[in-house]
Amino acid sequence: MAQMESKLLEIEIEPGTASKVSPLLRRVTAPNPSVMTGPGTNSYIVGNKELAVIDPGPSISSHVSALLDACEGAKLRWIIVTHTHPDHSPAAMLLAEATGAELIGATIEDDGHQDTSFKADRELNDGDVFSNDEFSLRAVHTPGHVGNHYCFFLEEEKTLFTGDHIMQGTTVVVIPPSGDMAEYLHSLEKLKELHAEYLAPAHGHVMLDAESVIQGLIDHRMARESKVLAAFERIASGTLDQLLPIVYDDVDPKVLPVAKIALWSHLLKLEIDGRAEKRAAESIDHEVWTLLR
């Protein structure tokens, strides 16, 4: 998907190594690099004496061992997941079994993309706060990428842990039906109200110009929506496959399968907005979309 530019805190990403990001924050990256995960899933350790781990990551033994080593000498109190996709939450159970820490997250019905092994000790709610003598971590419900997605705001350092809601270097895939483009944009507007200074994503480097990055993502999505609307000037109606090369004529052909999902999410948003409609079909590939004038 589109490459997004930002100022970075370029501390080397080396899987298995606990890298100090700030006085209250360390990062351990899992060895699961891919097109979708970038250099791997970042697990963040917040605190020095009593700890929270955000996004324990995939169930890879070396990664779990690296997290346990990094937590040694302190009490791991909370294991928190931003959402239950398989590259974010499966290691939670293993960490909990080894430490007795409380598992925190929001679970939803499996849409074929969920880590069904995750069982929360406590279900997250918007505004929940996890605090001790060192830090205060606030949960912010940010549906869009998926319905059970949460970001977390570290008050003391103005750092926002963004999970997959905001990733460094690329845009996020919004996969319906649990993913929702309208909710994604609303969640971005909600994050602007925090006035964060740093964005700590689950994939990539920490970003420094937080408010600029958030606004840039909103602008990018709205520009893409404008291209969807413009496509209907060329064809009065069409399927996803007919609209795709018009709306995404500026991306590498290799990412068109992912772009097709993004196009679907944009069309569904336009349908919710009352600006487009589809003719029902046996599959999304056969739906014919028309712009409402």
Which residues carry out catalysis?
A: 87
Residues 84, 114 contacting (CB under 8 angstroms): yes
User: HSE of 157 in the Cβ direction (CA atoms, 13 Å)?
Assistant: 21
Fill in the DSSP letter of residue 170: B
The DSSP-derived string for 275-293 is SEEEE--SSGGG-EEEE--
Write the CA distances from 189 to 24, 54, 144, 194, 199, integer angstroms: 27, 23, 12, 10, 15
- Rounded Cα–Cα distance for residues 63 and 59 (Å): 8
Sign of CA dihedral 57, 58, 63, 65: positive
Q: Is 211 helix (H, G, I), strand (E, B) or coil?
A: helix
